[in-house]
Structure 1
Amino acid sequence: MAKTPADLRNIESLVEIVASLRGPDGCPWDKEQTHESLTQYAIEETFELVEAIESAGAERDQKMKDELGDVLFQVLLHSQLASERGAFTLNDVIENVATKLIRRHPHVFGDVKVSGSADVVKNWEEIKKQEKGAKPEYALNVPALPALQRAYKIGKRTEKFKFDWENVEGVMLKVEEEFDELREALDNDVDSEIEHELGDVLFSLAQLGRHLQMEPEQVLRKGNARFEERFNKMVELAKAEGIDWGALSTEEKEGYWLKAKAWLKK
């Protein structure tokens, strides 16, 4: 049986716990994991943290504390896996990020002067370029992100290269054009064509969000939350009237959907 550390507020205790989970008498699930198998959880935990940050009410801080812990666990677990194969340890990770932060903030840890956050961002990008070495002049170099967020970032990069629509109206015309091509693909009933055109529609909508100064990932998260709230309220209203929502016709369900929307606007 693994020994429980005495001081659970110490990061070293957490490192010890994770090592125990991977140890000979540890947890079968944790012992089976690899960097690759854990990828999905890194994504899930990050998004759950974002959801906690965007939540409201008295429980927000507790939710954030929980989700920050889950994200930290992912960092520790990957560091433990790397340590086991002699690649690096958590201390190496800490030293690496500390060094990077000092290097990228010469206005805090050096004598560089800045007049505001715009200068900070400009310097940050220049330092990153120096770190990564010379790249093709017009390379996009967009980091790995969820697809909608990456589409937005691609647009931000091409905007810098002056390859962009002049205004919102221009993007709207492109969105309408892509919708027309999607309709045509649906008429042709060819899956590969439909997939292609649907992707173009989603990409164009991401660029529309960018031109409206709205980050599409955040907009969609709010839209998802709004739909879930309305759906739950719709089912709740039906139940309150003694009605089995699942047995209703599509038209009847639509009626409760409208009731839920009206109720939530009160």
Structure 2
Amino acid sequence: MNNTSSADRRPEQLAAFGRLLDVLDRLRAECPWDRKQTMQSLRHLTIEETYELSDAILRDDLSDVRKELGDVMLHLVFYAKIAAEKGAFDIADVLNAQCEKLIFRHPHIYGDVTVSSEEDVKRNWEQLKLKEKGNSSVLGGVPVSLPALVKAMRIQEKARGAGFDWERKEQVWEKVQEELHEFGEEFAEAEHSPEHQQRAAAEFGDLLFSLINFARFAGINPEEALEHTNRKFIRRFQYLETAAAQDGHQLADLTLAQMDVYWNQAKALPVDETNPTSEK
């Protein structure tokens, strides 16, 4: 692809989208696998494809991002195709409704509302969502099935959009310290009774929630930060396994001190050398 503007490529983009719809129409009519699919059968595959797209984005692999976007796009038009067969809606209904929603939620672009910052845009967005969906609670739009860490982020962002938030990050850090102390107290007693164990678990949840809150104030995405740490640990541990095997050792036969030698070697190496295998 060259650097031609999106508007200049609009006919080509529309033709490509139409081609995808045509291909799916034929597959749905003639392929036994595609013909038997339902929204329910596609659901877990869509989740998998979304995670694969997420992985490609984290690797900054634009070639894979393009491929994974295609897979996700196929699933989106597939759902619309199934709905059209049921007489519920089709892809045009989906896209037109999305356009109307975007126009409605951007009155500073399509209307006469004035904003002075990104925070104003976010605040307006949440207020318009409440009005649009008729939710009685600001938090009513947070999906129940979201992973807990991501859900905590969304809860805090929505509360902030309603004006319920800390004023300074120092206040949030004090809250982290308070929750850490409370968890420590309950954990010290946790082995003495199931009640203390339950309270320790509850305080640990409070601690995590406050850390996620502080990350938001610090401009850190905690989900991405944790995933980078996961990948770092995997690289270093795999180096440990490989290096130990090259020296004729089984991990089960090594002491923790011996494993720490390899671990420290892994920490000292550049990221792209700690694991010669791809993360794909």
State the TM bucket, normalised to the shorter chain. Answer: 0.7 to 0.9
Question: How far off its partner does 1:36 sit?
Answer: 3.3
Amino acid at match of 1:73: L
Residue 213 of structure 2, aligned match among 189, 207, 211: 207
Question: How far off its partner does 1:197 sit?
Answer: 5.6
Partner of 1:48: 52
- The 5-angstrom pairing of residues 183-194 of structure 1 reads 184-186=189-191, 188=193, 193=198
Moved more, 215-224 or 30-39: 30-39
Question: How far off its partner does 1:39 sit?
Answer: 3.1
* 2:118 is aligned with 1:117: yes
- The 5-angstrom pairing of residues 1-266 of structure 1 reads 10-23=16-29, 25-27=31-33, 30-56=34-60, 60-133=61-134, 135-136=136-137, 139-144=138-143, 145-158=146-159, 160-162=163-165, 166-182=171-187, 184-186=189-191, 188=193, 193=198, 199-239=205-245, 241-251=246-256, 252-264=258-270
Amino acid at match of 2:39: H
Q: Conserved in 2, the CA contact under 8 Å of 1:175 and 1:204?
A: no
Partner Cα distance (2:247, 2:14) in 1: 49
Partner Cα distance (2:74, 2:40) in 1: 16
Question: How far off its partner does 1:24 sit?
Answer: 5.0
Amino acid at match of 2:254: S
Partner Cα distance (2:18, 2:53) in 1: 23
User: 1 or 2, which has the higher helix percentage?
Assistant: 2
Q: Structure 2 regions of 5+ residues with no counterpart?
A: 1-12, 274-280
Q: Conserved in 1, the CA contact under 8 Å of 2:180 and 2:207?
A: yes
Alignment root-mean-square deviation, CA: 3.5
Question: How far off its partner does 1:245 sit?
Answer: 4.5
Question: How far off its partner does 1:169 sit?
Answer: 2.0
Partner Cα distance (1:179, 1:9) in 2: 61
Q: Conserved in 2, the CA contact under 8 Å of 1:142 and 1:154?
A: no
Q: Structure 1 regions of 5+ residues with no counterpart?
A: 1-6
Question: How far off its partner does 1:99 sit?
Answer: 1.6
Moved more, 124-133 or 74-83: 124-133
Amino acid at match of 1:203: F
The TM-score normalised by the length of structure 2 is 0.73
Q: What is the DSSP-based 3-state SS (H/G/I as helix, E as strand, rest coil) of the residue aligned with 1:15? A: helix
Q: Report % sequence identity.
A: 35
Question: How far off its partner does 1:153 sit?
Answer: 2.4
The TM-score normalised by the length of structure 1 is 0.76
Partner Cα distance (1:155, 1:121) in 2: 13
Distance 1:173 1:260, change over 3 A: same
Q: What is the DSSP-based 3-state SS (H/G/I as helix, E as strand, rest coil) of the residue aligned with 1:214? A: coil
